Structure 1
Amino acid sequence: MNEFILPIRVYYEDTDAGGIVYHANYLKFMERARTEWLRSLGMEQDALAQQGFLFVLSQLSINYRKPALFNEQIYVSATLTECHKASMLFNQQIWRQNQADARELLADGSVKVVCITQDTRRPTPLPPAIRNLIP
């Protein structure tokens, strides 16, 4: 499927005392990329919530490879690799461009997102508006 890429600048608030991105913030960057991927399809999570649909993580695996540093420009990708009745699986990467303009991988992982209903908090089929947009 198509790779969605979100550029992100690393701010001081994203780092620890050593100027290295704090481990939990990689997960926040990945969530931003998935949210912006959905937005790029014309869907807003708050509008979906008003219709009774929420998305929750059910599985997460991440590999930390190299540190991202304060004030760096990094890139976060979200690639939908599987789409099931009530869930989606994403492969995600975080990298910076090196001097040879090649990707220098900082972290990568997979994330399984499940659609649930707002009232019962139980899995439910993906909204047709999303299913129709996904190739």
Structure 2
Amino acid sequence: MTYTLPIRVYYEDTDMAGIVYYANYLKFIERGRSEWVREIGMDQLEMKAEGVVFAVRRVEADYLGSAVLDDELIVETEVANVTAARLVMEQRVLRGEEVLFHAMVTVVCMNEAGQPVRLPANIRQMVH
């Protein structure tokens, strides 16, 4: 299942050349993952109250094109792989049919002490 999030490029997203600053693509995909979590019914505040939070462990990213001011973009998010300890998400930022940015993001769970823990069983079931 692919979750899509529409976004628009604002002036604050661009650099001196008038294109989206490279680090902002990471913000765009973070928003995509956050909205995906809500869409499938996960409550991150409830997880935190239970002592577990998500953390990004790895991002492998390719910048394939440039977005500019006022572009309408789509952030696509889908689960690529789930194990007992990690969730790998494939994410793309598109303008129309053109893929501008592609990333594979590995997410893990951590406890309050910052140590890795297994993904809770209910979360593994939600994402399968």
Pair in the same fold by TM > 0.5: yes
Q: Which residue of 2 aligns with 1:100?
A: none
Q: Which residue of 1 aligns with 2:7?
A: 8
Q: 1:129 aligns with which of 95, 113, 122?
A: 122
Query: In the aligned structure 1, how far is the partner of 2:125 from the partner of 2:58?
Result: 24
In structure 1, give the amino acid aligned to 2:58. Q
Q: Which residue of 2 aligns with 1:63?
A: 62
What is the CA RMSD across the aligned residues, in angstroms? 1.1
Q: CA shift at 1:30, angstroms?
A: 0.6
Aligned length: 128
Which region of structure 1 is more displaced relative to structure 2, 38-47 or 86-95? Answer: 38-47
Mapping 1:22-37, distance limit 5 Å = 22-37=21-36
Query: In the aligned structure 1, how far is the partner of 2:49 from the partner of 2:18?
Result: 39
Query: In the aligned structure 2, how far is the partner of 1:79 from the partner of 1:132?
Result: 15
Which region of structure 1 is more displaced relative to structure 2, 45-54 or 64-73? Answer: 45-54
Query: In the aligned structure 1, how far is the partner of 2:44 from the partner of 2:7?
Result: 20
How high is the sequence identity, in percent, across the aligned residues? 38
TM-score (norm 1): 0.90
Q: CA shift at 1:129, angstroms?
A: 2.8
Deviation per residue, 1:77-116 (Å, 9 max, x gap):
111110011210011111111xxxxx11101010100111
Mapping 1:67-86, distance limit 5 Å = 67-86=66-85
TM-score (norm 2): 0.94
Q: CA shift at 1:46, angstroms?
A: 2.2
Q: CA shift at 1:59, angstroms?
A: 1.1
Deviation per residue, 1:42-87 (Å, 9 max, x gap):
1132221111111111111111011011111100111111001121
Q: Does 1:109 align with 2:108?
A: no
SS of match in other structure, 1:121: coil
